[in-house]
Chains A and B, each alone.
Chain A
Amino acid sequence: MIFDILSWCLFLLGALFIIAGSLGMLRFPDFYTRLHAAGVTDTLGVELMLLAMIFQSDNWITIVKLLLIALFMLLTSPVATHAIAHAAWVGKLKPMLGPDLRRDGDAETREEDA
């Protein structure tokens, strides 16, 4: 009973983080900042969901397998994130920088257009 309540709290908390991550992914302005929002769903969202499932499971083999899934999520998700970010960086996609979100070449391109 206590485990049920605990696991439901964790499910709801995980869902909150996943929704926040998705919302950030839609709202943030450019490629690199959107990656950060995806990181929220990757780490805390998924891990809280898995923790909630651990409280729901009734034999220890399931618990061990869920723990291993959590560990491998932690090991692999940053590799994927870095691969995407590095691909964008090598492909010379410029990040928006500073509080006014300026790209490095913005002024020049405008001059070229004019």
Chain B
Amino acid sequence: MLRFLTKIAGRHLALALSMFGLWLLLSGYFTYPTLLAFGIISVLLTTWLAQRAGMLDREGVPTRVFPGILTYMLWLTVEIGKSNIAVTMHALSPRLKLSPKMVTVPAYQTSDLGKVIFANSITLTPGTVTVDLHENDILVHALTEDLADVGGMTAMGEKVCGFDGLEGREWARQRKAERHAAADKAAAERQAGGRQVGQ
């Protein structure tokens, strides 16, 4: 029953409920029946208008990014704090030691929304600004050599892929497997090299 309901009107329901929640929080009216009725009517009218305008699709009401985006935002807050401190140190240091750099970061998010979230996250962390966006990569301007951390930004992109649809998740899993294989290979080579030196 619930599955059937979410299949035919899932996005309508999600939009209407979230808008009504926002209306309640912003207005703070919980007891006046007249005002509540008007609130419900306005929410229904807006949902109908959104449906008429064709905005109730996977871009307009992106229900699939929840709940994954919430943990991502917590993680991002910590990252923002760290790089903020780094940039502040540069701004306050008596002698400027900047080494700006342009780097390209791969962005294989499946949807446009995923790309927007990824590019915005890069811009949001101080020290890196998204300058240009191509089909499958992002051009980033970084304040110093250390802040131009392509590996770190790619890892951030994989986190975004993790909550952005099935294909993105597949890509993130592939990348992780490749990285593990490379690490294993490097370890094996190191071991072999060590043995040779030992002989």
Contact = CB atoms under 8 A, between A and B. Distances in A.
Interface string A26-47: 0111101101110110011000
Which secondary structure dominates chain A's binding surface? helix
Nearest to B123: A78
B92 A20 contact: yes
Interface string B109-124: 0000000000111011
B55 interface: no
B84 A40 contact: yes
A99 B37 CA distance: 63
B130 interface: yes
Contact size range, B: 35 or more
B197 interface: no
A43 B102 CA distance: 22
A74 B124 contact: yes
B131 interface: yes
Interface residues of A, number: 38
A68 B21 CA distance: 13
A22 to B, nearest CB: 9
Interface stretch (A1-9, A90-98, A105-113): A90-98
A65 B28 CA distance: 11
A43 B120 CA distance: 12
Nearest to A89: B131
A114 interface: no
Contact of A39 (B87, B90, B100, B121): B87
Contacts of B96: 27-29
A37 B87 contact: yes
B101 A101 contact: no
A28 B120 contact: no
Interface in A48-100: 61, 64-65, 68, 74-75, 77-79, 81-82, 85-86, 89, 95-99
Given A29-B96, A33-B100, A44-B81, A21 B91 contact: yes
Contacts of B120: 75, 78-79, 82
